């Protein structure tokens, strides 16, 4: 019983002795006045709503009033009093406040783990995921895993699509070399084309050549020159990734297929399929070509060669623990260097367009 109900009962019980000690005439007059007031209020309102304390008080007084006078005294019938009693008994024994219906819901962390396992392992079905969860200490029914995957829009394992381009490129990074053309506009508004290659595993960039007329024969010759430059490193490569530009001919592919490389064509209008090469092209534009005026082919070849040397030998890369592509040294220590004891020396590249910083010996 709540505190408000107890308070109401105590307040009502205190008024009983005062009513008993009054004279009979005064009590009859008061009863008639209250009965008339009750009749007036019933005409004005449609339905009276009783609080729990009101119901207990009416039930207690019902034993003092003869049954034949209930209709004149009370606004409720004996059936209503019995219904109130049944409802109190039902609420007492249902434990509605302490018990929730059905099985407990799956924890949000477990749901996130299930979706993570499904995304990272495209061949795992709901039973395989349920087994992995049990091994990790999260016992759960296979049907629950299936419902969570269905609610997230993830179908059964045999019906899922194959690996995405991002997953494929990450898994095969050390065996992929990508090619792409980069256009350059000179001071005289003449358009030049540069053919660049990048090794996915080491992020090493190669400039094949610069020309104003990228014919099929020129492109094939640059491919031959690159194969000779790479030498034995061609043995570690397995795929050549390129777009569907018409400048890449069958003879171009044959140069790489002679070294057992498989040529992969990116889908039409899908630059993300060749994202690493597209990214290095964007780097060349932002850090070099958008900040310098190019005069002719020789000038373009010279500035690109110098920048690519900086890119391969000095520029740090997040995917290689901040190491440049040509460096095999361990990452630099994370401790703060004392700048008073070690002087930092600047080495300008391309007239200061790009700077390299080294600790002075």
More confident residue, 77 or 324: 324
Kindly tell me if the per-residue pLDDT of 117 is higher than 80.
yes
Does the model's pTM come out above 0.85? no
At 40-90, the pLDDT tens digits run 666 667 666 777 777 677 677 666 666 666 666 666 666 776 777 777 777
Helix, strand, coil percent content, the chain, rounded in steps of 5: 55, 15, 35
Give the pLDDT of residue 181: 94
Domain parsing of the chain, residue ranges: 3-94, 108-159, 168-320
Helix axes 275-287, 297-313, angle to 10 degrees: 110
Kindly tell me if the per-residue pLDDT of 97 is higher than 70.
no
Kindly tell me if the per-residue pLDDT of 298 is higher than 90.
yes
Two tokens, residue 213: 């007329």
Give the pLDDT of residue 70: 65
Kindly tell me if the per-residue pLDDT of 175 is higher than 70.
yes
CA dist 76 and 60 (Å) reads: 13
At 276-286, the pLDDT tens digits run 899 999 999 99
Give the pLDDT of residue 218: 95
Q: Is the Cβ–Cβ distance between 157 and 124 less than 8 Å?
A: yes
Long-range pairs for 51-58 at CB < 8 Å and ≥24 separation?
51/8, 52/2, 52/5, 53/4, 53/5, 53/7, 53/8, 53/9, 53/12, 54/8, 55/81, 55/84, 56/5, 56/9, 57/8, 57/9, 57/12
What is the CATH topology of the domain spanning 168-320? Answer: Nucleotidyltransferase; domain 5 (3.30.420)
CA dist 247 and 240 (Å) reads: 15
**Which residue bears the tokens 């777009």?**
243
Under the banding of pLDDT at 50, 70 and 90, the label for residue 182 is: very high
Give the pLDDT of residue 180: 94
């Amino acid at each position: 019983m709540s505190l408000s109900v107890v308070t109401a009962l105590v307040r009502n019980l205190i008024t009983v002795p005062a009513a008993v000690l009054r004279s009979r005439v005064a009590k009859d007059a008061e009863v008639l006045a209250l009965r008339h007031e009750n009749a007036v209020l019933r005409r004005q309102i449609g339905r009276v709503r009783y609080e729990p304390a009101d119901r207990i008080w009416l039930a207690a007084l019902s034993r003092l009033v003869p049954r034949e006078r209930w209709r004149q005294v009370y606004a409720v019938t004996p059936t209503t009093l019995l219904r109130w009693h049944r409802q109190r008994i039902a609420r007492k024994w249902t434990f509605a406040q302490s018990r929730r219906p059905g099985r407990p819901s799956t924890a949000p962390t477990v749901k996130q783990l299930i979706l993570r396992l499904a995304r990272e392992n495209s061949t795992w079905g709901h039973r395989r995921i349920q087994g992995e969860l049990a091994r990790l200490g999260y016992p759960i029914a296979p049907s629950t895993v299936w419902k969570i995957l269905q609610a997230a829009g993830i179908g059964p394992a045999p019906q899922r699509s194959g690996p995405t381009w991002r997953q494929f490129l990450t898994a095969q990074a050390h065996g992929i070399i990508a090619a792409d053309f980069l256009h350059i506009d000179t001071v005289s508004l003449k358009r030049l084309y540069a053919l660049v290659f990048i090794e996915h595993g080491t992020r090493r960039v190669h400039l094949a050549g610069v020309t104003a007329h990228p014919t099929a024969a020129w492109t094939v010759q640059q491919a031959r020159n690159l194969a000779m430059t790479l030498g034995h490193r061609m043995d570690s490569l397995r795929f050549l990734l390129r777009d569907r530009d018409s400048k890449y001919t069958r003879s171009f592919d044959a140069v790489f297929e002679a070294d057992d490389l498989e040529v992969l064509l990116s889908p039409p209008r899908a630059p993300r399929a060749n994202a690493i090469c597209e990214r290095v092209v964007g780097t060349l534009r932002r850090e070099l070509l958008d900040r310098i005026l190019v005069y002719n082919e020789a000038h373009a070849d010279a500035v690109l060669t110098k920048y690519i040397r900086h890119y391969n030998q000095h520029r740090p890369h997040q995917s290689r623990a901040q190491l440049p592509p040509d460096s095999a040294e361990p990452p630099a220590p994370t401790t703060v260097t004392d700048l008073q004891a070690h002087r930092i020396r600047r080495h300008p590249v391309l007239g200061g367009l790009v700077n390299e910083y080294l600790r002075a010996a």
